[in-house]
Amino acid sequence: MGKLVLYGVEPSPPVRACKLTLAALGLQYEYKLVKLLDGEHRSAEYVRKNPQHTVPMLEDDGHYIWDSHAIMAYLVRRYAKDDSLYPKDFFKRALVDQRLHFESGVVFQGCLRNIAVPVFYKNESEVPRAKINAIYEAYGFLEAFIGDQSYLCGETITLADFSIVSTISSLVELAPIDPAKNPKLKTWLARMSQLPYYDQANGYGAQMLIDTFKEKIKKII
Ligand code: GSF
């Protein structure tokens, strides 16, 4: 096994999803902080490795892999002792994949980035109500996905849980989960936060992002 290096920054949800996966797998890795605000991710050296200049990025044995979902799936395929986090069974894997794509398109891009980009990069301090409503719509979908299960894809934890908790835990201040409307989502989030490695891998970074949102967002319009 080569030395694993994760490039990232704490508040980033997809970085935290990778940290959860690495912790769940018990893998040792070096963590390299990429100072996004100083533009480190746009340096010639970083762009040579990842032309999309995003974090997270994983380095393994001279290979560079980015997009959290690709990184998490790679880590399980390569290093996990069993396939429980990302089952080989066709139907079980299709379900995990559906949730991972849901995180990528609907939750991360459609909810979180849609709010964060104007706030962080254009200094906007007002968020249109429609963007908050999009979060509640996503909560509704997740409520249905969880159903009577303990986790998003059944009774055992999968990569889908790590991916989706990274974003949802960052949105709960902007859109508090109403236990009357989304009881299953609320219980699932509480269950996830009980993981022994949760705070270190996700909780602290989520709070950092929440604090920045609080500081910059003055009003929902
Ligand atoms: C998202 C990566 C991303 O946008 C994934 O890895 O899951 N779908 C991808 N990362 C942001 C940081 S953040 O918002 O989490 C990033 O790297 N932005 C800097 C840039 O230049 O895009």
Rounded Cα–Cα distance for residues 9 and 161 (Å)? 20
Strands 63-66 and 126-127: unpaired
0.95 exceeded by pTM: yes
- Identify the CA nearest to 55 among candidates 77, 76, 45, 40: 40
Which residues sit opposite 32 in a β-bridge?
Answer: 7
| Nearest CA, atom 6, ligand 1 | 67
166 lines ligand 1 (CB under 6 A): no
Does the annotation mark 68 as catalytic?
no
Strands 57-60 and 30-33: unpaired
Rounded Cα–Cα distance for residues 168 and 173 (Å)? 10
Residuewise pLDDT in 10s, the chain (221 residues): 669 999 999 999 999 999 999 999 999 999 999 999 899 999 999 999 999 999 999 999 999 999 999 999 999 999 999 999 999 999 999 999 999 999 999 999 999 999 999 999 999 999 999 999 999 999 999 999 999 999 999 999 999 999 999 999 999 999 999 999 999 999 999 999 999 999 999 999 999 999 999 999 999 99
DSSP secondary structure letter of residue 122: S
Half-sphere exposure of 162 (CA within 13 A, CB side): 28
CATH class of segment(s) 4-79 = alpha beta
| Nearest CA, atom 18, ligand 1 | 54
27 Cα: distance to centroid of ligand 1 (angstroms): 23
110 lines ligand 1 (CB under 6 A): no
Task: Please provide the CATH number assigned to the domain covering 90-220.
Answer: 1.20.1050.10
Please calculate the CA angle 216-40-208 and round it to the nearest 5 degrees.
Answer: 35
- Sorted by where each begins, the domain ranges of the chain are 4-79, 90-220
Strands 126-127 and 219-220: parallel
Who's near 48: CB < 8 A, 6+ residues apart?
A: none
Q: Which residue among 54, 64, 208, 212 has the greatest number of ligand 1 atoms within 8 angstroms of its CB, and so is best to mutate? A: 54
Q: Which of 12, 68, 169, 170 is catalytic?
A: 12
179 Cα: distance to centroid of ligand 1 (angstroms): 30
5 Cα: distance to centroid of ligand 1 (angstroms): 17
Cα 193–chain centre separation: 14
Residue 18 is which amino acid? C
216 lines ligand 1 (CB under 6 A): no
Residue 165 is which amino acid? V
Q: Which atom of ligand 1 lies at the shortest distance from residue 113's CA?
A: 14
Q: Do domains 4-79 and 90-220 have the same CATH topology?
A: no
